[in-house]
Chain A
Amino acid sequence: MKHYEVEILDAKIREKLCFLDKVEPHATIAEIKNLFTKTHPQWYPARQSLRLDPKGKSLKDEDVLQKLPVGTTATLYFRDLGAQISWVTVFLTEYAGPLFIYLLFYFRVPFIYGHKYDFTSSRHTVVHLACICHSFHYVKRLLETLFVHRFSHGTMPLRNIFKNCTYYWGFAAWMAYYINHPLYTPPTYGAQQVKLALAIFVICQLGNFSIHMALRDLRPAGSKTRKIPYPTKNPFTWLFLLVSCPNYTYEVGSWIGFAIMTQCLPVALFSLVGFTQMTIWAKGKHRSYLKEFRDYPPLRMPIIPFLL
Protein backbone atom coordinates (compact mmCIF):
# COMPACT_ATOMS: atom_id res chain seq x y z
CA MET A 1 0.00 0.00 0.00
CA LYS A 2 1.47 3.31 -1.05
CA HIS A 3 1.59 5.96 1.60
CA TYR A 4 0.86 9.62 0.96
CA GLU A 5 2.74 12.67 2.13
CA VAL A 6 0.73 15.66 3.18
CA GLU A 7 2.10 19.15 3.57
CA ILE A 8 -0.03 21.87 5.10
CA LEU A 9 0.60 25.49 4.19
CA ASP A 10 -0.92 28.67 5.57
CA ALA A 11 -3.42 29.88 2.96
CA LYS A 12 -2.50 33.55 3.38
CA ILE A 13 1.29 33.60 3.74
CA ARG A 14 2.03 30.19 2.17
CA GLU A 15 4.31 29.30 5.04
CA LYS A 16 4.81 25.58 5.58
CA LEU A 17 3.11 24.72 8.84
CA CYS A 18 3.26 20.96 8.93
CA PHE A 19 4.57 17.97 7.04
CA LEU A 20 2.96 14.59 7.51
CA ASP A 21 4.53 11.53 6.02
CA LYS A 22 3.27 7.95 5.84
CA VAL A 23 -0.37 9.01 5.68
CA GLU A 24 -2.77 6.18 4.79
CA PRO A 25 -4.48 6.66 1.41
CA HIS A 26 -7.91 6.12 2.97
CA ALA A 27 -7.30 8.66 5.70
CA THR A 28 -10.07 11.22 6.03
CA ILE A 29 -9.68 14.98 6.34
CA ALA A 30 -10.89 14.61 9.92
CA GLU A 31 -7.95 12.33 10.68
CA ILE A 32 -5.53 14.72 9.00
CA LYS A 33 -6.94 17.56 11.10
CA ASN A 34 -6.27 15.52 14.22
CA LEU A 35 -2.67 14.95 13.12
CA PHE A 36 -2.27 18.67 12.45
CA THR A 37 -3.56 19.51 15.92
CA LYS A 38 -0.75 17.42 17.43
CA THR A 39 1.86 19.82 16.06
CA HIS A 40 -0.26 22.94 16.59
CA PRO A 41 -2.42 22.28 19.64
CA GLN A 42 -3.93 25.77 19.65
CA TRP A 43 -5.71 24.94 16.38
CA TYR A 44 -8.14 22.23 17.40
CA PRO A 45 -9.89 20.46 14.48
CA ALA A 46 -13.11 22.49 14.72
CA ARG A 47 -11.29 25.72 13.90
CA GLN A 48 -9.32 24.27 10.97
CA SER A 49 -10.38 24.88 7.40
CA LEU A 50 -8.33 22.78 5.00
CA ARG A 51 -8.62 23.26 1.28
CA LEU A 52 -6.94 22.26 -1.97
CA ASP A 53 -6.76 25.84 -3.18
CA PRO A 54 -5.94 28.81 -0.91
CA LYS A 55 -9.07 30.61 -2.10
CA GLY A 56 -11.20 27.52 -2.62
CA LYS A 57 -13.92 25.83 -0.59
CA SER A 58 -13.20 23.95 2.60
CA LEU A 59 -12.79 20.22 2.35
CA LYS A 60 -15.26 18.13 4.28
CA ASP A 61 -14.25 16.02 7.26
CA GLU A 62 -15.54 12.90 5.51
CA ASP A 63 -13.48 13.42 2.32
CA VAL A 64 -10.94 10.65 1.77
CA LEU A 65 -7.37 11.53 0.83
CA GLN A 66 -6.97 9.15 -2.11
CA LYS A 67 -10.27 10.32 -3.64
CA LEU A 68 -9.04 13.94 -3.81
CA PRO A 69 -7.38 15.30 -6.98
CA VAL A 70 -3.88 15.20 -5.46
CA GLY A 71 -0.67 13.35 -6.19
CA THR A 72 1.03 11.19 -3.62
CA THR A 73 2.36 14.40 -2.08
CA ALA A 74 -0.72 16.41 -1.27
CA THR A 75 -0.59 20.13 -0.56
CA LEU A 76 -3.38 21.44 1.65
CA TYR A 77 -3.97 25.05 2.58
CA PHE A 78 -4.99 25.98 6.12
CA ARG A 79 -7.22 28.81 7.27
CA ASP A 80 -7.96 29.51 10.94
CA LEU A 81 -11.69 29.84 11.46
CA GLY A 82 -11.21 31.50 14.83
CA ALA A 83 -12.38 30.34 18.22
CA GLN A 84 -15.34 28.01 17.89
CA ILE A 85 -18.27 27.13 20.09
CA SER A 86 -20.66 24.22 19.72
CA TRP A 87 -24.09 24.80 18.20
CA VAL A 88 -25.70 23.03 21.13
CA THR A 89 -24.06 25.40 23.62
CA VAL A 90 -25.13 28.46 21.66
CA PHE A 91 -28.73 27.26 21.30
CA LEU A 92 -29.07 26.32 24.96
CA THR A 93 -27.70 29.67 26.10
CA GLU A 94 -29.67 31.82 23.69
CA TYR A 95 -32.96 30.03 24.55
CA ALA A 96 -32.50 29.73 28.31
CA GLY A 97 -32.10 33.51 28.54
CA PRO A 98 -35.56 34.49 27.25
CA LEU A 99 -37.22 31.80 29.37
CA PHE A 100 -35.66 33.18 32.53
CA ILE A 101 -35.80 36.88 31.64
CA TYR A 102 -39.50 36.87 30.76
CA LEU A 103 -40.29 35.34 34.15
CA LEU A 104 -38.40 38.14 35.92
CA PHE A 105 -40.83 40.60 34.35
CA TYR A 106 -43.87 38.35 34.84
CA PHE A 107 -43.25 38.07 38.57
CA ARG A 108 -42.51 41.82 38.68
CA VAL A 109 -39.20 41.40 40.37
CA PRO A 110 -38.07 44.66 42.14
CA PHE A 111 -36.40 47.55 40.25
CA ILE A 112 -38.29 46.93 37.00
CA TYR A 113 -41.60 48.64 37.67
CA GLY A 114 -42.41 51.03 40.52
CA HIS A 115 -41.88 49.63 44.03
CA LYS A 116 -45.58 49.47 44.77
CA TYR A 117 -45.88 46.82 42.03
CA ASP A 118 -43.13 44.51 43.30
CA PHE A 119 -44.22 40.85 43.17
CA THR A 120 -47.79 41.80 42.28
CA SER A 121 -49.78 39.88 39.70
CA SER A 122 -51.61 41.19 36.62
CA ARG A 123 -55.40 41.10 36.71
CA HIS A 124 -55.60 40.28 33.00
CA THR A 125 -56.01 36.64 31.99
CA VAL A 126 -54.19 37.23 28.73
CA VAL A 127 -51.03 38.24 30.60
CA HIS A 128 -50.93 34.86 32.38
CA LEU A 129 -51.70 33.09 29.13
CA ALA A 130 -48.89 34.96 27.38
CA CYS A 131 -46.42 33.88 30.04
CA ILE A 132 -47.46 30.25 29.58
CA CYS A 133 -47.13 30.50 25.79
CA HIS A 134 -43.78 32.28 25.84
CA SER A 135 -42.34 29.88 28.41
CA PHE A 136 -43.72 26.85 26.58
CA HIS A 137 -42.13 28.09 23.38
CA TYR A 138 -38.66 28.32 24.85
CA VAL A 139 -38.91 25.10 26.85
CA LYS A 140 -39.88 23.40 23.58
CA ARG A 141 -36.84 24.91 21.87
CA LEU A 142 -34.50 23.76 24.65
CA LEU A 143 -35.86 20.21 24.56
CA GLU A 144 -35.62 20.12 20.78
CA THR A 145 -32.00 21.23 20.99
CA LEU A 146 -31.21 18.44 23.42
CA PHE A 147 -33.28 15.63 21.92
CA VAL A 148 -34.53 16.36 18.42
CA HIS A 149 -32.20 18.36 16.21
CA ARG A 150 -29.39 16.69 14.27
CA PHE A 151 -26.90 19.42 13.45
CA SER A 152 -24.85 19.41 10.24
CA HIS A 153 -22.09 21.44 11.80
CA GLY A 154 -20.59 20.87 15.21
CA THR A 155 -19.44 24.42 15.81
CA MET A 156 -19.83 28.07 14.88
CA PRO A 157 -17.58 31.11 15.46
CA LEU A 158 -17.45 32.19 19.09
CA ARG A 159 -18.60 35.75 18.42
CA ASN A 160 -21.99 34.40 17.33
CA ILE A 161 -22.97 33.63 20.89
CA PHE A 162 -22.71 37.31 21.84
CA LYS A 163 -24.60 38.43 18.78
CA ASN A 164 -27.34 35.82 19.15
CA CYS A 165 -27.81 36.25 22.88
CA THR A 166 -28.06 40.02 22.53
CA TYR A 167 -30.83 39.52 19.97
CA TYR A 168 -32.87 36.91 21.85
CA TRP A 169 -32.34 38.22 25.36
CA GLY A 170 -32.79 41.85 24.31
CA PHE A 171 -36.09 41.28 22.53
CA ALA A 172 -37.37 39.00 25.29
CA ALA A 173 -36.75 41.73 27.88
CA TRP A 174 -38.29 44.38 25.64
CA MET A 175 -41.55 42.54 25.00
CA ALA A 176 -41.80 41.12 28.52
CA TYR A 177 -41.52 44.64 29.93
CA TYR A 178 -44.68 45.79 28.16
CA ILE A 179 -46.80 42.66 28.41
CA ASN A 180 -46.26 42.45 32.18
CA HIS A 181 -46.45 46.19 32.78
CA PRO A 182 -48.99 47.40 35.35
CA LEU A 183 -50.37 49.74 32.65
CA TYR A 184 -50.72 46.95 30.05
CA THR A 185 -53.82 47.33 27.83
CA PRO A 186 -55.52 44.02 26.90
CA PRO A 187 -56.47 43.36 23.25
CA THR A 188 -59.11 45.59 21.65
CA TYR A 189 -61.40 42.70 20.68
CA GLY A 190 -61.12 40.99 24.02
CA ALA A 191 -61.54 37.25 24.59
CA GLN A 192 -62.37 36.57 20.94
CA GLN A 193 -59.07 38.02 19.80
CA VAL A 194 -57.15 36.12 22.45
CA LYS A 195 -58.86 32.82 21.61
CA LEU A 196 -58.18 33.14 17.89
CA ALA A 197 -54.57 34.15 18.47
CA LEU A 198 -54.07 31.28 20.91
CA ALA A 199 -55.40 28.84 18.32
CA ILE A 200 -52.97 30.18 15.73
CA PHE A 201 -50.13 29.93 18.23
CA VAL A 202 -50.90 26.35 19.26
CA ILE A 203 -51.41 25.11 15.71
CA CYS A 204 -48.14 26.68 14.61
CA GLN A 205 -46.25 25.27 17.58
CA LEU A 206 -47.54 21.79 16.77
CA GLY A 207 -46.70 22.38 13.12
CA ASN A 208 -43.18 23.55 13.88
CA PHE A 209 -42.59 20.52 16.13
CA SER A 210 -43.96 18.14 13.47
CA ILE A 211 -41.54 19.53 10.90
CA HIS A 212 -38.60 19.21 13.30
CA MET A 213 -39.49 15.57 13.88
CA ALA A 214 -39.92 14.91 10.15
CA LEU A 215 -36.53 16.46 9.41
CA ARG A 216 -34.92 14.43 12.17
CA ASP A 217 -36.32 11.22 10.70
CA LEU A 218 -34.73 12.06 7.36
CA ARG A 219 -31.28 11.74 8.87
CA PRO A 220 -29.92 8.76 10.81
CA ALA A 221 -28.16 9.56 14.12
CA GLY A 222 -24.56 10.72 13.70
CA SER A 223 -24.82 11.10 9.94
CA LYS A 224 -24.84 14.22 7.81
CA THR A 225 -26.97 12.92 4.93
CA ARG A 226 -29.23 15.29 3.08
CA LYS A 227 -32.51 14.21 1.49
CA ILE A 228 -35.53 16.01 0.05
CA PRO A 229 -38.16 16.28 2.80
CA TYR A 230 -41.65 15.05 1.87
CA PRO A 231 -45.09 15.19 3.55
CA THR A 232 -45.76 12.32 5.96
CA LYS A 233 -48.98 10.99 7.47
CA ASN A 234 -48.95 13.92 9.90
CA PRO A 235 -51.18 16.65 8.37
CA PHE A 236 -48.90 19.37 9.70
CA THR A 237 -46.15 18.13 7.38
CA TRP A 238 -48.35 18.55 4.30
CA LEU A 239 -47.03 22.11 4.16
CA PHE A 240 -43.93 20.52 2.57
CA LEU A 241 -46.01 20.36 -0.61
CA LEU A 242 -45.88 24.13 -0.82
CA VAL A 243 -42.70 25.27 0.98
CA SER A 244 -39.13 24.10 1.47
CA CYS A 245 -38.88 25.28 5.07
CA PRO A 246 -42.28 24.89 6.74
CA ASN A 247 -40.57 24.98 10.13
CA TYR A 248 -39.85 28.67 9.50
CA THR A 249 -43.36 29.23 8.15
CA TYR A 250 -44.85 27.80 11.35
CA GLU A 251 -42.40 29.76 13.49
CA VAL A 252 -43.45 33.08 11.94
CA GLY A 253 -47.06 31.99 12.37
CA SER A 254 -46.50 31.31 16.08
CA TRP A 255 -45.08 34.77 16.66
CA ILE A 256 -47.83 36.45 14.65
CA GLY A 257 -50.27 34.58 16.88
CA PHE A 258 -48.44 35.78 19.98
CA ALA A 259 -48.42 39.36 18.65
CA ILE A 260 -52.18 39.30 18.07
CA MET A 261 -52.74 37.73 21.47
CA THR A 262 -50.78 40.34 23.34
CA GLN A 263 -51.47 43.24 20.96
CA CYS A 264 -47.97 44.46 21.68
CA LEU A 265 -45.94 46.34 19.08
CA PRO A 266 -42.50 45.08 20.21
CA VAL A 267 -43.76 41.51 19.66
CA ALA A 268 -44.83 42.47 16.13
CA LEU A 269 -41.39 44.00 15.52
CA PHE A 270 -39.69 40.87 16.84
CA SER A 271 -41.84 38.79 14.47
CA LEU A 272 -40.85 41.02 11.58
CA VAL A 273 -37.12 40.82 12.29
CA GLY A 274 -37.36 37.06 12.78
CA PHE A 275 -39.33 36.71 9.56
CA THR A 276 -36.67 38.65 7.66
CA GLN A 277 -33.86 36.46 8.98
CA MET A 278 -35.78 33.22 8.42
CA THR A 279 -36.62 34.25 4.88
CA ILE A 280 -32.91 34.72 4.15
CA TRP A 281 -32.20 31.27 5.60
CA ALA A 282 -35.14 29.69 3.76
CA LYS A 283 -34.04 31.13 0.42
CA GLY A 284 -30.54 29.80 1.02
CA LYS A 285 -31.82 26.37 1.93
CA HIS A 286 -34.19 26.36 -1.06
CA ARG A 287 -31.31 27.24 -3.37
CA SER A 288 -29.17 24.42 -1.91
CA TYR A 289 -31.98 21.94 -2.44
CA LEU A 290 -32.41 23.05 -6.05
CA LYS A 291 -28.69 22.77 -6.68
CA GLU A 292 -28.32 19.36 -5.08
CA PHE A 293 -31.47 17.63 -6.31
CA ARG A 294 -32.48 17.56 -9.98
CA ASP A 295 -35.94 16.28 -9.19
CA TYR A 296 -36.82 18.90 -6.57
CA PRO A 297 -40.58 19.61 -6.55
CA PRO A 298 -41.14 22.75 -8.66
CA LEU A 299 -44.29 23.94 -6.86
CA ARG A 300 -42.40 24.68 -3.63
CA MET A 301 -41.47 28.19 -2.52
CA PRO A 302 -38.88 28.84 0.21
CA ILE A 303 -41.08 30.05 3.09
CA ILE A 304 -44.51 31.43 2.09
CA PRO A 305 -46.69 29.29 -0.21
CA PHE A 306 -46.82 30.74 -3.72
CA LEU A 307 -45.30 34.04 -2.64
CA LEU A 308 -41.84 34.02 -1.12
Chain B
Amino acid sequence: MGIVPSSVVLTSFQVMSRVFLIWAVTHSVKEVQSEDSVLLFVIAWTITEIIRYSFYTFSLLNHLPYLIKWARYTLFIVLYPMGVSGELLTIYAALPFVRQAGLYSISLPNKYNFSFDYHAFLILIMISYIPIFPQLYFHMIHQRRKILSHTEEHKKFE
Protein backbone atom coordinates (compact mmCIF):
# COMPACT_ATOMS: atom_id res chain seq x y z
CA MET B 1 0.00 0.00 0.00
CA GLY B 2 3.03 2.21 -0.12
CA ILE B 3 3.24 3.06 3.56
CA VAL B 4 6.54 1.24 4.01
CA PRO B 5 9.01 0.39 1.25
CA SER B 6 8.98 -3.41 1.65
CA SER B 7 8.17 -5.63 -1.30
CA VAL B 8 4.57 -6.87 -1.27
CA VAL B 9 5.56 -10.25 -2.64
CA LEU B 10 8.28 -10.95 -0.08
CA THR B 11 6.15 -9.75 2.82
CA SER B 12 3.08 -11.75 1.74
CA PHE B 13 5.28 -14.78 1.46
CA GLN B 14 6.53 -14.30 5.01
CA VAL B 15 3.04 -13.71 6.37
CA MET B 16 1.73 -16.82 4.59
CA SER B 17 4.55 -18.98 5.91
CA ARG B 18 3.95 -17.71 9.46
CA VAL B 19 0.20 -18.36 9.23
CA PHE B 20 0.97 -21.82 7.87
CA LEU B 21 3.27 -22.64 10.80
CA ILE B 22 0.69 -21.47 13.32
CA TRP B 23 -2.57 -22.81 11.87
CA ALA B 24 -1.64 -25.69 9.66
CA VAL B 25 1.07 -27.13 11.88
CA THR B 26 1.14 -26.00 15.50
CA HIS B 27 -2.60 -25.55 16.00
CA SER B 28 -3.58 -28.59 13.95
CA VAL B 29 -1.19 -31.01 15.60
CA LYS B 30 -1.81 -30.55 19.32
CA GLU B 31 0.96 -32.93 20.26
CA VAL B 32 3.70 -30.52 19.12
CA GLN B 33 2.41 -27.58 21.13
CA SER B 34 4.59 -28.46 24.10
CA GLU B 35 7.76 -28.75 22.02
CA ASP B 36 10.71 -26.45 22.72
CA SER B 37 10.95 -25.72 19.01
CA VAL B 38 7.66 -23.81 19.19
CA LEU B 39 9.11 -21.60 21.93
CA LEU B 40 12.18 -21.10 19.76
CA PHE B 41 10.39 -19.69 16.74
CA VAL B 42 7.86 -17.69 18.77
CA ILE B 43 10.68 -15.91 20.59
CA ALA B 44 12.59 -15.29 17.35
CA TRP B 45 9.50 -13.91 15.57
CA THR B 46 8.47 -11.77 18.54
CA ILE B 47 11.83 -10.04 18.93
CA THR B 48 12.12 -9.57 15.16
CA GLU B 49 8.69 -8.00 14.85
CA ILE B 50 9.13 -5.65 17.81
CA ILE B 51 12.29 -4.30 16.23
CA ARG B 52 10.87 -4.25 12.70
CA TYR B 53 7.74 -2.31 13.58
CA SER B 54 9.70 0.13 15.76
CA PHE B 55 11.93 0.66 12.75
CA TYR B 56 8.97 1.43 10.49
CA THR B 57 7.28 3.67 13.05
CA PHE B 58 10.39 5.74 13.73
CA SER B 59 11.18 5.94 10.02
CA LEU B 60 7.73 7.31 9.29
CA LEU B 61 8.15 9.85 12.06
CA ASN B 62 11.49 10.79 10.48
CA HIS B 63 13.28 10.18 13.74
CA LEU B 64 15.08 6.86 13.50
CA PRO B 65 17.54 6.14 16.31
CA TYR B 66 20.64 4.46 14.93
CA LEU B 67 20.23 1.73 17.54
CA ILE B 68 16.95 0.58 15.99
CA LYS B 69 18.39 0.59 12.48
CA TRP B 70 21.42 -1.31 13.73
CA ALA B 71 19.24 -3.82 15.58
CA ARG B 72 17.04 -4.44 12.57
CA TYR B 73 19.92 -5.11 10.26
CA THR B 74 22.12 -7.01 12.72
CA LEU B 75 20.05 -9.13 15.08
CA PHE B 76 18.54 -11.05 12.19
CA ILE B 77 21.92 -12.76 11.86
CA VAL B 78 21.01 -14.76 14.95
CA LEU B 79 17.22 -14.47 15.00
CA TYR B 80 16.66 -15.68 11.46
CA PRO B 81 18.47 -19.03 11.83
CA MET B 82 16.86 -19.37 15.24
CA GLY B 83 13.38 -18.92 13.80
CA VAL B 84 14.04 -21.26 10.90
CA SER B 85 15.40 -23.96 13.22
CA GLY B 86 12.33 -23.66 15.42
CA GLU B 87 10.04 -23.89 12.40
CA LEU B 88 11.79 -26.90 10.87
CA LEU B 89 11.99 -28.78 14.16
CA THR B 90 8.29 -28.16 14.76
CA ILE B 91 7.27 -29.44 11.34
CA TYR B 92 9.54 -32.45 11.79
CA ALA B 93 7.99 -33.18 15.20
CA ALA B 94 4.51 -33.02 13.70
CA LEU B 95 5.24 -35.57 10.95
CA PRO B 96 4.54 -38.85 12.82
CA PHE B 97 1.22 -37.53 14.16
CA VAL B 98 0.17 -36.34 10.72
CA ARG B 99 1.01 -39.73 9.25
CA GLN B 100 -0.83 -41.59 11.99
CA ALA B 101 -4.02 -39.51 11.83
CA GLY B 102 -3.98 -39.06 8.07
CA LEU B 103 -4.42 -35.37 8.80
CA TYR B 104 -5.65 -33.20 5.89
CA SER B 105 -5.10 -36.11 3.56
CA ILE B 106 -7.38 -37.78 1.06
CA SER B 107 -6.64 -40.94 -0.85
CA LEU B 108 -8.06 -42.74 -3.89
CA PRO B 109 -10.62 -43.88 -4.75
CA ASN B 110 -13.04 -40.99 -4.20
CA LYS B 111 -15.61 -39.24 -6.36
CA TYR B 112 -13.40 -36.17 -6.92
CA ASN B 113 -10.61 -38.28 -8.38
CA PHE B 114 -8.10 -36.37 -6.30
CA SER B 115 -5.54 -37.26 -3.68
CA PHE B 116 -3.40 -35.29 -1.25
CA ASP B 117 -0.81 -36.51 1.20
CA TYR B 118 -0.22 -33.86 3.86
CA HIS B 119 2.75 -35.80 5.26
CA ALA B 120 4.54 -35.70 1.89
CA PHE B 121 3.51 -32.06 1.51
CA LEU B 122 5.15 -31.13 4.82
CA ILE B 123 8.34 -32.87 3.77
CA LEU B 124 8.32 -30.87 0.53
CA ILE B 125 7.88 -27.69 2.56
CA MET B 126 10.88 -28.60 4.68
CA ILE B 127 12.97 -29.24 1.56
CA SER B 128 11.91 -25.89 0.12
CA TYR B 129 13.70 -24.15 2.99
CA ILE B 130 16.99 -25.25 1.38
CA PRO B 131 16.78 -22.96 -1.68
CA ILE B 132 14.65 -20.27 -0.06
CA PHE B 133 16.36 -19.61 3.28
CA PRO B 134 19.87 -18.81 1.91
CA GLN B 135 18.38 -16.40 -0.63
CA LEU B 136 16.44 -14.46 2.00
CA TYR B 137 19.34 -14.56 4.45
CA PHE B 138 21.93 -13.27 1.99
CA HIS B 139 19.50 -10.63 0.77
CA MET B 140 19.39 -9.30 4.34
CA ILE B 141 23.20 -9.47 4.62
CA HIS B 142 23.47 -7.50 1.38
CA GLN B 143 20.95 -4.94 2.65
CA ARG B 144 22.93 -4.68 5.89
CA ARG B 145 26.14 -3.88 4.07
CA LYS B 146 24.39 -1.28 1.94
CA ILE B 147 22.43 0.46 4.68
CA LEU B 148 24.83 0.37 7.63
CA SER B 149 27.89 1.49 5.65
CA HIS B 150 25.82 4.32 4.13
CA THR B 151 25.11 5.64 7.62
CA GLU B 152 28.81 5.45 8.58
CA GLU B 153 29.70 7.63 5.58
CA HIS B 154 27.05 10.16 6.54
CA LYS B 155 28.47 10.29 10.05
CA LYS B 156 31.97 10.90 8.69
CA PHE B 157 30.84 14.04 6.90
CA GLU B 158 29.18 15.56 9.96
**A residues lining the B interface (CB < 8 Å):** 178-179, 181, 183-185, 188, 262-266
What is the CB-to-nearest-CB distance from A265 to chain B, in angstroms, rounded to a whole number?
A: 4
Tell me, yes or no, whether B23 is within 8 Å of chain A by CB: no
Query: What 8 pairs across the A-B complex have the smallest Cβ distances?
Result: A265-B114, A183-B109, A183-B108, A264-B113, A265-B112, A178-B113, A185-B109, A185-B111
Q: List 10 A-B contacts (CB under 8 A).
A: A178-B115, A181-B108, A181-B113, A184-B108, A185-B109, A185-B110, A263-B113, A265-B112, A265-B114, A266-B113
Distance in angstroms between the alpha carbons of A229 and B110 in the assembled complex: 45
Contact A262 B113 (CB under 8 A): yes
Task: Report chain A residues within 8 Å CB of B115.
Answer: 178
Task: Report chain A residues within 8 Å CB of B111.
Answer: 185, 188, 263
Contact A264 B112 (CB under 8 A): yes
Task: Report chain B residues within 8 Å CB of A183.
Answer: 108-109
Residue picked from A184, A263, A265, most chain B C-beta under 10 Å: A265
Distance in angstroms between the alpha carbons of A91 and B113 in the assembled complex: 29
Beta-carbon nearest neighbor of A177 in chain B: B115
User: Total interface residues on B, using CB and 8 Å?
Assistant: 8
**B residues lining the A interface (CB < 8 Å):** 108-115
What is the CB-to-nearest-CB distance from A295 to chain B, in angstroms, rounded to a whole number?
A: 38
Distance in angstroms between the alpha carbons of A178 and B106 in the assembled complex: 13
Q: What 18 new A-B contacts, CB under 8 Å, besides A183-B108, A185-B110, A265-B114? A: A178-B108, A178-B113, A178-B114, A181-B108, A183-B109, A184-B108, A185-B111, A188-B111, A262-B113, A263-B112, A263-B113, A264-B112, A264-B113, A264-B114, A265-B112, A265-B113, A266-B113, A266-B114
Task: Report chain B residues within 8 Å CB of A178.
Answer: 108, 113-115
Distance in angstroms between the alpha carbons of A265 and B114 in the assembled complex: 6
What is the CB-to-nearest-CB distance from A39 to chain B, in angstroms, rounded to a whole number?
A: 36
What is the CB-to-nearest-CB distance from B30 to chain A, in angstroms, rounded to a whole number?
A: 29
Task: Report chain B residues within 8 Å CB of A179.
Answer: 113
Task: Report chain B residues within 8 Å CB of A265.
Answer: 112-114
Distance in angstroms between the alpha carbons of A184 and B108 in the assembled complex: 8
What is the CB-to-nearest-CB distance from A169 to chain B, in angstroms, rounded to a whole number?
A: 19
What is the CB-to-nearest-CB distance from A289 to chain B, in angstroms, rounded to a whole number?
A: 30
Distance in angstroms between the alpha carbons of A303 and B114 in the assembled complex: 29
What is the CB-to-nearest-CB distance from B115 to chain A, in angstroms, rounded to a whole number?
A: 7
Distance in angstroms between the alpha carbons of A184 and B110 in the assembled complex: 8
Task: Report chain B residues within 8 Å CB of A266.
Answer: 113-114
Task: Report chain A residues within 8 Å CB of B112.
Answer: 263-265
Distance in angstroms between the alpha carbons of A181 and B110 in the assembled complex: 12
Distance in angstroms between the alpha carbons of A178 and B112 in the assembled complex: 9
Beta-carbon nearest neighbor of B115 in chain A: A178
Beta-carbon nearest neighbor of A267 in chain B: B113
Task: Report chain A residues within 8 Å CB of B113.
Answer: 178-179, 181, 184-185, 262-266
Task: Report chain A residues within 8 Å CB of B110.
Answer: 185
Beta-carbon nearest neighbor of A264 in chain B: B113
Distance in angstroms between the alpha carbons of A178 and B113 in the assembled complex: 6
What is the CB-to-nearest-CB distance from B157 to chain A, in angstroms, rounded to a whole number?
A: 27
What is the CB-to-nearest-CB distance from A88 to chain B, in angstroms, rounded to a whole number?
A: 32
Distance in angstroms between the alpha carbons of A179 and B114 in the assembled complex: 9
Distance in angstroms between the alpha carbons of A114 and B112 in the assembled complex: 21
Distance in angstroms between the alpha carbons of A254 and B86 in the assembled complex: 47
What is the CB-to-nearest-CB distance from A259 to chain B, in angstroms, rounded to a whole number?
A: 10
